[in-house]
DNA sequence: GAAGAAATTAACCCGTTGGATAAATACTGT
DNA sequence: ACAGTATTTATCCAACGGGTTAATTTCTTC
C-alpha cells in the first residue's frame, strides 16, 4: 500500500471553525426559526461535519443561544460607539433613529432572531447570564439627551427614555420585520429605495415633531427640497 | 355476543369539528410557529383524530393558511366597525390607537401568527387569494380623518395614511410581540397593568403631539389628573 | 331495513432529524 | 519518533412526524 495522503485534507482551525459554525447557524436560525432550523444544513453551510457542532458549541439549543447572545453583543457594541453626548438633542435623536434603522437594514438576521426568540417567550434568553449583564447603558445615554433637550428648551416633554427607545425601535422594527405581509396587504413594495427613504423621513418627522412640538417636515423639506413631501403629503 | 354500543361514541358535527380544528390549530401555530407546530397536538386539542385534519381542512400547510386567513378576516371585520367618521380628528386617531392596542392585547395569537408568517417572508400569504382582496378600506378611513384634520386646522401635516397606520401598528405591535425579550433586557415587567397603561398613554401622546404640534400630555393629564405623568415624566 | 354517503377511528409507512459512537487524522511536546 | 491530545470524519440509530390506507361507525333516504 502506498503511503498516500501527503497533503492534509483540512487545516486545524478550531477558532475559525467555531466562528464559521456560529455564522452558519445564525443564517439558518434566522431563515427558518428554531424548530425549522436543520442541524445538518448548519454543518454543511459551515463546511463542517455535524459532529463538529456538538464538539465546538453544543447541542441545537446551546448553539441557538450562542447565536442569540452574539447578536445582542454585536448591536450593543455598535450602539456604544454612537456617542450622542455632543450633538444637540434633536440631532442626537435623529441620529439614533437613523442608526437603528440602518442597523436593522444591515442586519436582517437580527430581526428574525428576535422574532424567533419572542415567539418562544424569551425562554432561552432568560437562561442567558451574559445578556442580562448587558443592560444597555444606552438607556442612560438617551435619558441624558432627553434631559438636555428639555433643559435647553428644545423638547417639550421629558419622555421616559425606555418608552422612547421602544418607540423608535418599534417604528423601525415593525416596518422591516413585517414588510413581507404588509407589502402583500397594501399592495406596494415597502422595500424599494424610495419607500425606505420615505419611511425614514416619516419616522424622524414623527418623533421629532412629537418631542419638539414643531412640524419637522419643515426643516426636513428645507434640507432636501426636491423630494416633494417626506413626512407630509398634500391631500 | 351481546350487541353492545347502544350509545354513540361521538356525534356527527362536521362544521363544529372544523371550527374546533381551526381554533386548536390557531393556538398551536401561534404557540410554536409553523415548523414547531405538531399535527398530533392540534388533533388532540381539537378532540379529534389526526386523520380528521386532513379530511376537514387539508395538510399542515393548508391548515396554517386557513388559520392565517381567519385571523386577518377577524381583525378586518372588527376594524370596519370602528367608524371614525363622526369623531373630530384627534379623537379619531386616539380611538384608532386604542383599538389597535386593545385588539393586540386581546388577540396575542394574531401577533404570533404575523410574526411566524413574516419569518416565512409571507410565502403562504402570497398564495392566498382571499387576503389580497381584503385590502383594508381602512386606509381610506384614515386618509379621510387626516384630510379632515388638516382642513380643520387640527393637524399640521397631511401624513401618508399608510405610514401613519404602520406607525401606529408598529408602536403597539413591537411593544407587545417583543415584550418577552424587552422585559429581560430592561429588567422590568412590561406587561403589568401599570406598564400597559403608561405605554398606551405614551403612544397616544407621541402620535397626537406629532400630528397636532401640541404636547398632548397636557390634555391627557387634564383628563386623568391623578396619573402623575403619562407621556411626560419630570426629569 | 338496506344501500350509500358522510364522518371518524385505528394502524401503519417511511423519510427525516437530532444526537451518539467510534475510528481516523493532524498537531504538540519531549 | 513516539505518546498523548485535539480536531475531524464516517456511520449508525432510535424517535419522531407528516401523511396514507383501510376499516368502522353514524346518518340519510328510499
- A171 to B171: CB separation less than 8 angstroms, yes or no: yes
CA B111, B116, B122, B127 dihedral sign is negative
DSSP A117-182: HHHTTTHHHHH-HHHHTT--THHHHHHHHHHHHHHTTS-SS-B-HHHHHHHHHHHHHHHHHTHHHH
State residue B88's pLDDT score. Answer: 94
Give A23-79 pLDDT, tens digit per residue: 999 999 999 999 999 999 999 998 888 888 898 988 899 999 999 999 999 998 898
d(CA B203, CA B210): 11
Chain B span 51-110 residues with beta carbon within 7 Å of strand D: 51, 54, 59-61
Q: Is A71 left (phi over 0), alpha (psi -120 to 50) or beta?
A: alpha
Give A12-33 pLDDT, tens digit per residue: 566 778 889 999 999 999 999 9
State residue B80's pLDDT score. Answer: 86
State residue B170's pLDDT score. Answer: 98
Question: Do residue B153 and residue B97 come from a single domain?
Answer: yes
Quick check: is B82 in a domain? Answer: yes
Among A112, A159, A195, A217, the residue to mutate for chain B (most B Cβ within 10 A): A159
Question: Do residue B103 and residue B192 come from a single domain?
Answer: yes
Question: Do residue A35 and residue A148 come from a single domain?
Answer: no
Give B107-151 pLDDT, tens digit per residue: 999 999 999 999 999 999 998 888 877 776 888 999 999 999 999
The reply to whether A49 Cβ lies less than 7 angstroms from strand D is yes
Question: Do residue B159 and residue B45 come from a single domain?
Answer: no
Instruction: List all residues 6 or more positions away from B178 whose beta carbon is below 8 Å from its beta carbon.
Output: A114, A118, A170, A173
Low-confidence ranges of chain B (pLDDT < 50): 1-9, 218-235
Quick check: is B202 in a domain? Answer: yes
Quick check: is B150 in a domain? Answer: yes
State residue A51's pLDDT score. Answer: 86
Question: Do residue A91 and residue A169 come from a single domain?
Answer: yes
- The count of structural domains within chain A is 2
- Residue B20 sits in a domain whose CATH number is 1.10.10.60
d(CA B17, CA B96): 35
Question: Do residue B206 and residue B115 come from a single domain?
Answer: yes
Question: Do residue A146 and residue A218 come from a single domain?
Answer: yes
Expressed as residue numbers, the domain containing B44 is 14-58
Question: Do residue A90 and residue A203 come from a single domain?
Answer: yes
B63 CA: nearest nucleotide by C1': D18
Question: Do residue A135 and residue A53 come from a single domain?
Answer: no
Question: Do residue B94 and residue B21 come from a single domain?
Answer: no
* Position with higher pLDDT, A8 vs B185: B185
Quick check: is A229 in a domain? Answer: no
Question: Do residue A167 and residue A124 come from a single domain?
Answer: yes
State residue B7's pLDDT score. Answer: 40
Quick check: is B233 in a domain? Answer: no
Quick check: is A104 in a domain? Answer: yes
- ipTM for this prediction: 0.86
Can you tell me the mean pLDDT for A120-126?
92
The CA angle A203-B213-B138, to the nearest 5 degrees, is 60
Quick check: is A233 in a domain? Answer: no
State residue B235's pLDDT score. Answer: 35
Chain B residue at shortest CA distance from A109:
B119
Give A176-212 pLDDT, tens digit per residue: 999 999 999 998 999 999 999 999 999 999 999 999 9
- Residue A213 sits in a domain whose CATH number is 1.10.357.10
Quick check: is A107 in a domain? Answer: yes
* Position with higher pLDDT, B71 vs A9: B71
Among A36, A121, A167, A211, the residue to mutate for chain B (most B Cβ within 10 A): A167
Question: Do residue B20 and residue B90 come from a single domain?
Answer: no
Amino acid at each position: 500500500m502506498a503511503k498516500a495522503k501527503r497533503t492534509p485534507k483540512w487545516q486545524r482551525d478550531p477558532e475559525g471553525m467555531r466562528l464559521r459554525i456560529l455564522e452558519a447557524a445564525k443564517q439558518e436560525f434566522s431563515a427558518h426559526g428554531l424548530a425549522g432550523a436543520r442541524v445538518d444544513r448548519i454543518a454543511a453551510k459551515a463546511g463542517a461535519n455535524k459532529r463538529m457542532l456538538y464538539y465546538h458549541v453544543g447541542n441545537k439549543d446551546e448553539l441557538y443561544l450562542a447565536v442569540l447572545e452574539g447578536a445582542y453583543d454585536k448591536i450593543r457594541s455598535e450602539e456604544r460607539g454612537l456617542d450622542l453626548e455632543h450633538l444637540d438633542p434633536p440631532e442626537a435623536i435623529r441620529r439614533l433613529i437613523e442608526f437603528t434603522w440602518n442597523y436593522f437594514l444591515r442586519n436582517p438576521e437580527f430581526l428574525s432572531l428576535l422574532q424567533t426568540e419572542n415567539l418562544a417567550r424569551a425562554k432561552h434568553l432568560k437562561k442567558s447570564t451574559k445578556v442580562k449583564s448587558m443592560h444597555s447603558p444606552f438607556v442612560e445615554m438617551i435619558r441624558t439627551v432627553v434631559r438636555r433637550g428639555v433643559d435647553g428648551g428644545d423638547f417639550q416633554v421629558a419622555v421616559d427614555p425606555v418608552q422612547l427607545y421602544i418607540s423608535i425601535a418599534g417604528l423601525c422594527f415593525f416596518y422591516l420585520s413585517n414588510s413581507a405581509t404588509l407589502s402583500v396587504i397594501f399592495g406596494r413594495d415597502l422595500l424599494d429605495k424610495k419607500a425606505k427613504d420615505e419611511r425614514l423621513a416619516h419616522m424622524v418627522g414623527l418623533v421629532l415633531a412629537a418631542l419638539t412640538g414643531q412640524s419637522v417636515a419643515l426643516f426636513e423639506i428645507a434640507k432636501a427640497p426636491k423630494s416633494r413631501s417626506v413626512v407630509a403629503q398634500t391631500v
